[in-house]
Each structure stands twice: as structure tokens, then as C-alpha cells.
Amino acid sequence: MNDSPVYTPPKVWQWNKDNGGRFANINRPTAGATHDKELPVGHHPLQLYSLGTPNGVKVTIMLEELLALGHQGAEYDAWLIRISDGDQFGSGFVAVNPNSKIPALVDRSTSTPIRVFESGAILLYLAEKFGAFLPTEVGARAECFSWLFWQMGSAPFLGGGFGHFYAYAPTKIEYAIDRYAMEVKRQLDVLDRRLAQAPYLAGNDYTIADMAVWPWYGALAKGLIYEAGEFLQVNAYANVQRWTDTIAARSAVKRGRMVNRISGEPAEQLLERHDAGDFDTKTHDKMGQG
Ligand SMILES: N[C@@H](CCC(=O)N[C@@H](CS)C(=O)NCC(=O)O)C(=O)O
């Protein structure tokens, strides 16, 4: 193991604003709004305030899947929240999500608008509202809940643990990378074993559990996040690979991945989505940004 500088924590932790980490400019030890800014509101029943990260994509996939099933009530405006600019700390956003993280949803189809934050809660809310992608048979429903909450508990070790120390931390700390690489490989093995038993996480049907897990672990399996495919030998997880490819081929998933996306191919970035036709006419390349 490398010799890392020895750190003895002081009696009282102090905030070092400029710690060199990739997101040092937006991280802080307090909550609440930093500035006044109202959120825009469009014409559709559902207003989504988000960004095309794995957590954001879960919800846009669900909304596109609902629309593909013919649920017109799932029409939505997707507004871009640029987290690196601190949009999540505006007063309007904080009123919708006191935790200042995307995604956040407001349902304006109800007599009093309903706010929902946390991607898992949003997926469940939409699944219940439209009666879709959530099994009704009690066993499959329990399995769906189990994998949905597995994602909520596991992904922070992938993103905040492995991804942070492998890709974003200002120094490569062998102990931290080792610890989280082991955990992430264990998680991939958990998924691989489950997907050896059933085509989807909850069983025979594609559900919100797959929509929650795929944006993180499917992207990881294809080496699309943290450039860690070779390091973690992701091709070894054959069942995860098969499941990832099956979900990636769905047209609603292809659309959902484009919404609020601000990196990658310009033709695959739809910064804001206000109409189904926007996928054909308003991608970044067609807005003179290609
Ligand atoms: N558990 C939350 C995690 C959401 C989350 O971490 N969002 C990130 C982007 S992927 C964010 O908004 N970060 C901004 C910040 O931390 O200031 C969920 O599933 O919705």
C-alpha cells in the first residue's frame, strides 16, 4: 500500500472550502437556499426539475415509458438544473427539494400542487399514480420494492464512494479506491446472480426497479461512468450485460436518456423537453450548437 500523509483529525471539524475535490465549489456543510430564484412552470401536468445524470435519467425514462403506454397525464416539462452552477440552491428549487439535489418533481394536476423529491419516491409516486411498472401480485411487488430500495442504498457506494475516489478526488488514495472497488464488484455480482434467475430485477416484468438500477449499473457495465470498465472487469458480469442491452434497446429509454443531458453527442442532448416533438427538432445539434 502507498504511504499516504498521516492526518490527525482536529477536535472540531473545520470547513476547508477549497479542498480540491471536483465539486468543491458546490459542496458545503449547510442546507437551505443561497439565493432567491423562482422555478419556471410550463403547461403540462408534471413539472420536472432535473439534469441528465443517472439519478435524473431514472425519472425521464419512467415518464417516457408512461407516455409510450398512452398515459397522456404523464406529459411533462423538463427544466434544466445546472448543479455545477448551483441552481439547486435557488429558493424555488429548495422549496421543491429541501435536500437540494436533482431530480425534483411537481405534480400540478392535483388541486394543490404536490412536490416529490428523491428519485425512488418519484418513481413510486408515478407508478402508483398511473398504475404502471409496479407489479400488483404481492410477491413480485415486494421484489420490486426490494430492488428499488437496494439501488437507493447501494448507489451511494458506487457514486459517492468508488466514483469519487477513483475519478474525482484530488489525490488517488489506494485504501479508499480498494475499499469501494471491492464493494462495487460485490454489488455487480449481486445483480449478476439475480439476473441469472430472472430477466428483470422484480421477475418476468420490466419495472421501476430496473429503471432505478439501470442508469447507474448499466452505465457502469458499459464503462460509461468513471472510465472504470477495464479496472472493474465489467464484461465478466454476463447477466448484467444482457439486461443492460435489453433495456438500452427500448425506445422510451433512448428518449429518456436524452432529456436534460448536457454532455456527449449534441444530437443526443435535449437540454429541455416541453413536447414530444422536441426529440426531433430541439436537440443540441439542431439548436445551432452542434
Ligand atoms: N438520493 C438522491 C440522490 C440525488 C443526487 O445525488 N443528485 C445529484 C446529481 S446526480 C445532485 O443533484 N447533486 C447536487 C448537489 O449535491 O449539490 C436521489 O436518488 O434522488
Cα distance from N-terminal residue to C-terminal residue, the chain: 46
- Please tell me the predicted confidence (pLDDT) of residue 185: 98
Q: Looking at residues 170-195, what average pLDDT do you find?
A: 97
The DSSP call for residue 21 is -
Q: What are the φ and ψ backbone dihedral angles of 4, each rounded to 5 degrees?
A: -95, 155
Phi, psi of 160 (to 5 degrees): -70, -25
Residue-level pLDDT at 98: 98
Place of cell 399514480: 129
pLDDT over threshold 80, residue 6: yes
Å from CA of 147 to ligand 1 middle: 19
In the prediction, which pLDDT does 24 show? 77
Q: Which three cell numbers stand for residue 125?
A: 409516486
Residue 204 has pLDDT above 60, yes or no: yes
Amino acid 102: pLDDT: 98
The rounded mean pLDDT for the chain is 96
Residue of 101, 152, 213 best suited for mutating to test ligand 1, as the one with most atoms within 8 Å of CB: 101
Q: Is the pLDDT of residue 258 over 70?
A: yes
- In this prediction, residue 17 has a pLDDT band, given cuts at 50, 70 and 90, of confident
Residue 109 CA to ligand 1 center (angstroms) comes to 25
Which pLDDT score is estimated for 3?
54
Q: Does the pLDDT of residue 239 top 80, yes or no?
A: yes
On the question of pLDDT at 52 being above 90, the answer is: yes
Distance of alpha carbon 152 from the chain centroid: 10
Q: How far apart are CA 97 and CA 259, in angstroms?
A: 20
Phi, psi of 256, rounded to the nearest 5 degrees: -55, -35
